[in-house]
Amino acid sequence: MANYNRIIKETINSKIGSGKAIILVGARQVGKTTLIKEILENRKYLFLNADNPTVRRIMDLPNLEQLKNIIGDNKIVFIDEAQRINQIGLTVKLIVDELKDVQIIISGSSSFDLGNSLNEPLTGRKWEYELFPICWEEWEEKEGFLKTEQLLEHRLLYGFYPDVINSPGSERTVLKNLVNSYLYRDILEFSNIKKSEYLENLIRALALQVGSEVNYNELSRTIGLNKNTIQRYIEILEKGYVIFKLTSFSKNIRNEIKRNRKIYFYDNGLRNMVIENFNDISIREDKGQLWENFLVSERLKQNIYKDKLTKMYFWRTKQQQEIDFVEVDANKISAFEFKWKAKQNAKISKSFIDAYNPNISIIDRDNFREFVLIKK
């Protein structure tokens, strides 16, 4: 099985011994446990897997003496799937405040922070990082330019979950298991959603609208749930690292649409499994959606991993003028149009250019690397 050099590995490693908890969050199966174990490979540490009921029982609000007995002489404690432990934030706070020579590292997936179990108790006491499926930079570094170039269309179909990449020929089986276990079972368990068919129908509807503006009222009518419930389910899917949204950019122009949103999936393979479509790129009607989802999700990974203060948007007016992707970094505005194969005369809206004087780029199959690889 291939191991990928994750971009945030050295950043996390540099925080060990800092006196604060290290928290790594992200979806199941993106490689959180693998990454932390690699970082700790040559160190002695205590590993506690909260998927184990015994671990959950002994870590359920222990007092200080119990914690000392559990930790023993270990100076590093790694708790995996920590969202399964009741009030884990209070336990971690106790370790950080009272056992100052112990480095606590915790990882969690899906609805890890739904109950704010960590944020409030650990204010000022934590370094928090997000891990996503393998990004293009990590993949190209491991596999080389030629192989990744040849397999771009394959990745647009099957995505970048580590197990998917490492299981050539069995990608659909891996993705199916991932959807059934993580997408539905885990999220249903942690969110108290009673009827799984509503969640399934919503995720499918969102998958079919990738890259398009999403209207909660329309979704409400389609799914048969009220608007507030739709909004809550979408927030759960965001916190579960299934989807993320971009809001519309608006500053100067009277007819700009100000409150709409687009929704994207963190991973193309997961999206395609939801709609059960792995047809070849050449015959797909949603080729443009797959390309846009790939580019925007890769850009998001880069901005987060490299600690950019960049804000991401799309832009549209009531007259249907639009920009696929807008980035604001300090006072610099950049506008991007995404094309699988750009035409010679591809242009960006003159209204946007006149209003904002942006940097302009057309991103297509030939030059996409400059968009998905950002220098730190």
Instruction: Please give the average pLDDT of every successive group of 10 residues along the chain, which has 376 residues.
Output: 86 95 92 96 95 92 92 96 87 93 88 59 90 97 96 97 96 94 74 77 94 90 89 87 91 68 96 96 95 98 94 87 91 92 77 89 94 87
Q: Are 79 and 154 found together in one domain?
A: no
Q: In which residue are the tokens 């709409």 written?
A: 260
Q: Are 339 and 309 found together in one domain?
A: yes
By DSSP bridging, strand 213-214 and strand 261-265 are antiparallel
CA torsion angle 35 36 38 43 (round to 10)? 170
Q: Are 91 and 148 found together in one domain?
A: no
The count of domains in the chain is 2
pLDDT at position 257: 63
pLDDT at position 114: 43
Backbone conformation region of residue 370, classed left if phi is above 0, alpha if psi is from -120 to 50, else beta: alpha
- In this structure, the number of other CB atoms found within 10 A of the CB of residue 105 comes to 24
Domain boundary among 81, 98, 130: 130
Q: Round to whole Å and give the CA distance between 43 and 80.
A: 17
Domain boundary among 130, 155, 179: 130
Three-state DSSP at 78 gives strand
The alpha carbon of residue 289 and the mean position of all alpha carbons in its chain are separated, in whole angstroms, by: 18
What tokens were used for 277?
């479509």
- The order of strands in the sheet holding 311-316 is 213-214, 261-265, 243-248, 311-316, 322-329, 332-338, 359-363
Q: pTM (2 decimals)?
A: 0.93
Q: Are 157 and 297 found together in one domain?
A: yes
Q: Are 78 and 61 found together in one domain?
A: yes
Burial 72-82 (b: 16+ CB within 10 A, else e): eeebbbbbbbb
pLDDT at position 115: 46
